[in-house]
Amino acid sequence: MSEKTTVAGVAVDTRHWIGGERVASAGTFTDVSPIDGTVLAEVARGTAAEAGAAVAAATAAFPAWAATPRAERARLLHAIADGVEKRLDELANVETADNGALLRSHRRGVMPRVAHNFRFFADWLLQLEHEDFETRGHSNHVSWDPAGPCVLITPWNAPLMLATWKVAPALAAGNTVVLKPAEWSPLTASLLADIAAEAGLPAGVLNVVQGYGSEIGDALTSHPGVRRISFTGSVPTARRIAASAAAALTPLSLELGGKSPLLVFADADLDLAVDLAVEQYDNAGQVCLAATRILVEEPVAEEFTRRLTEKASRLRQGDPRDEATDIGPNIHPRQLEKIDGFVRRAVASGARVVFGGAPNTRLGGLFYLPTLLTGVAQDSEIVQEEVFGPVLTLQTFRTEDEAVRLANDTRFGLAATLATGDPARTERVTARLVAGTVWVNCFFVRDLRAPFGGSRHSGVGREGGTWSFDFYCDLKNTVTAPKGWLSHG
């Protein structure tokens, strides 16, 4: 196979990165752009052999990296961030071609956030500490010890940002990493390997392997030498990973799907509430945090729906490389078929299409129209299951209790968004919502100091700030007797 491909004018190596070297596989898989169906690359298709080699490289590199002083680890993470910023436009162009998200978003928000991920955890590492405390004159000292090789499995909807959200704290903690990107969008992970090597990261500290979960993922997650597994993706895949990791009792962090609500009360600023609703079409609806279930208090439901319909009609769908585009394509034909299947079944069950409801036939390809459905039952598939596309449902409620009941009535609990002008109501409702993150009169405000994760089937564990180090480290408490004190047991 060809060792490199050129995407948007950028040379991308399509081989694995293992132990500081490029490694080919006997087979490849085809990576296709969702924008126009162009074949971008034939990518190395890893197997259990490459999984084993990557874990071996990470294992060999671990002792030296774990012993590297915090200040030097932080310096190298900052150097990686420098490299990301130097190649920001290249990374943005490649990722847009690979996963179809808006180029303007990649340039202005996503790729700067990639660099910030490294800088934040580098700086957090340097101030990570727990105040010593006493027990009957004995001192207690808490420390964060590097755990070992980590397997990080990342999704296709925000490939590099979500990968580095895991890579940065794992490396900062003194661990070595095997990163397995999604096969639908693997290219910027390969570029990250180049950037890390250029920054001086020692060989084997970061390894990148590509391929299908059934062929390389299982070999990684079941490997007894792996000490942490972090995964972002679907609930069914998480179940398989958890089962695979069970034999070695490998600790897991799982950030899974969502079916988040947007609660709009009659006292809300309706224009703000409509803006929040329209934001849920971002990235063609391929956002795990998206508030896809809109719950509106009855007195304002008709006016809210009118304003939402009018504003959504102004969204521009098209080529994500165009600065004027608001919504790009969905990632893959299978994803488009899944989205359309959800909508068709909902309509067949009695749902009413307010707008959208079908693929965009004018554009063809993988473009699905922004969609709003009403007349949906609470126990229906479209309300209970994650669509992961530009499809929202709208239901009404009469009381605060009913709003909370509907909001919590799914198996998920990733996020919730609340639109209200009443501070007392805010306090009451947010206290009762089952969600890892609740936004009030805002959406998608993320601070790396805050805990992030989901409740119920939306995940296991929390990451961010010290919570990330708690996961990626073995916490140790050292208890020391006072000087001159002798214990006889």
The residues carrying an active-site annotation are 255, 288
DSSP 318: S
Reduce the DSSP state of residue 250 to 3 states and report it: coil
d(CA 369, CA 363): 10
Per DSSP (E only), the strands in 215-359 are 228-232, 252-255, 261-264, 293-297, 352-355
Q: Which helix (H) or strand (E) holds 142?
A: strand 138-146
Per the structure block, which two tokens stand in for 134?
């006493």
Q: Is 338 exposed, middle or buried (0-12, 13-18, 19+ CB in 10 A)?
A: middle
**302's tokens:** 């008709």
- The number of helix segments (H) and strand segments (E) in the chain equals 16, 22
Q: Is beta strand 228-232 parallel, antiparallel or unpaired with respect to 150-153?
A: parallel
Give me the phi and psi of 478, to 5 degrees please.
-105, 120
Q: Which of 423-426's residues contact partners 24+ apart within 8 Å by CB, and which partners?
A: 425/265, 425/267, 425/400
Amino acid at position 9, single letter? G
Alpha carbons 458 and 289: distance in angstroms, whole number: 10
Concatenating the DSSP letter of every residue in 357-368 gives -SB-TTT-TT-B
B/e letters for 407-429, b = 16+ CB within 10 Å, e = fewer, are bbebebbbbbbbbbeeeebbeeb
Distance separating alpha carbons of residues 433 and 160, to the nearest angstrom: 31
- Sheet holding 206-208: strands in order across? 21-23, 16-18, 206-208, 177-180, 150-153, 228-232, 252-255, 459-460
Nearest CA to 209 out of 25, 4, 31, 33 is that of 25
User: What is the Cα gyration radius of the chain?
Assistant: 24
Say if residue 319 is exposed, middle or buried (CB neighbours under 10 Å; 0-12, 13-18, 19+). middle
Say whether 200 sits in a helix, a strand or coil. coil
Q: Which of 32, 50, 45, 44 is nearest to 2 (CA)?
A: 44
